[in-house]
Chain A
Amino acid sequence: SQTIHQWPATLVQPVGSPLSLECTVEGTSNPNLYWYRQAAGRGLQLLFYSVGIGQISSEVPQNLSASRPQDRQFILSSKKLLLSDSGFYLCAWSGRDRPYEQYFGPGTRLTVT
């Protein structure tokens, strides 16, 4: 069976510090991968998606970047965090045979102070 992991589960970082959130998927190959952010009182917003290694599409201009160094690894980064980067970050994957069904990870709660 497939599983998706995210770490860390929670993170408190000062403004201006760097960020690295990691997402890994097990039990499947060549998945589509997604990063979402859920800010307080707002819906989930798609930040990035990837259809393959090194292939990243950005949905909204922002202070964040994403990378996919391996088939089942998706990383969300920032060089300098802003207060507005606080939120709940969710990683998701979908399979090639059923790309319209997404499965979500447990999420990372990021608080920028």
Chain B
Amino acid sequence: KQEVTQIPAALSVPEGENLVLNCSFTDSAIYNLQWFRQDPGKGLTSLLLIQSSQREQTSGRLNASLDKSSGRSTLYIAASQPGDSATYLCAVRLRSQRGTASKLTFGTGTRLQVTL
């Protein structure tokens, strides 16, 4: 059974700092990995999706890396801003589940607070 772990569970940093969020998964036979952002009481917004054949994806100040062999992904946020405050979730889709339905296994998330 795939298990996804995210550390730290919570993180507080001053504005302007660069930071790294970690995600690890137990089954390396993934099809892809996706990072989401969740604001309090809201739904999820997709940030980055990395296919199993890729090593990283970038979008603006965000960079996500994937090391499938070690079962790890990181989300790097450059020059953090108070608006980045949210919970960040990673989710993996197993290769064995490839098909018309996409079943994701989520981590418990990292709650980020960027202070002024």
Asked whether A100 lies within 8 Å of B31 as measured between CB atoms, the reply is: yes
On chain A, the residues within 8 Å of B45 by CB distance are: 104
Distance A67 CA – B91 CA, assembled complex (angstroms): 25
Q: What secondary structure prevails in chain B residues at the interface with A?
A: strand
Contact A99 to B101, CB < 8 A, known contacts A43-B4, A104-B43, A106-B43: yes
Contact A46 to B43, CB < 8 A, known contacts A41-B108, A100-B31, A100-B32: no
* Interface residue ranges of B34-48 to A (CB < 8 Å): 34, 36, 41-46
A86 to chain B, nearest CB (A): 14
Distance A65 CA – B62 CA, assembled complex (angstroms): 38
Asked whether A104 lies within 8 Å of B44 as measured between CB atoms, the reply is: yes
On chain B, the residues within 8 Å of A92 by CB distance are: 44
* Interface residue ranges of A45-75 to B (CB < 8 Å): 45-46, 49, 51, 57, 59
Distance A96 CA – B99 CA, assembled complex (angstroms): 10
On chain A, the residues within 8 Å of B55 by CB distance are: none
On chain B, the residues within 8 Å of A41 by CB distance are: 108
Contact surface of B with A, Cβ cutoff 8 Å = 4, 31-32, 34, 36, 41-46, 49, 89, 91, 93, 99-109
Given A44-B89, A59-B103, A100-B102: 5 more A-B contacts, CB < 8 Å: A44-B91, A49-B103, A88-B41, A101-B34, A101-B46
13 contacts between A and B (CB under 8 A): A6-B43, A41-B108, A42-B108, A43-B107, A51-B100, A51-B101, A88-B41, A90-B44, A94-B102, A100-B93, A102-B46, A104-B36, A104-B45
- For the complex of A and B, the 9 pairs showing the least CB-CB separation, nearest first, are A104-B44, A104-B43, A44-B106, A43-B106, A43-B108, A106-B43, A99-B102, A100-B102, A107-B43
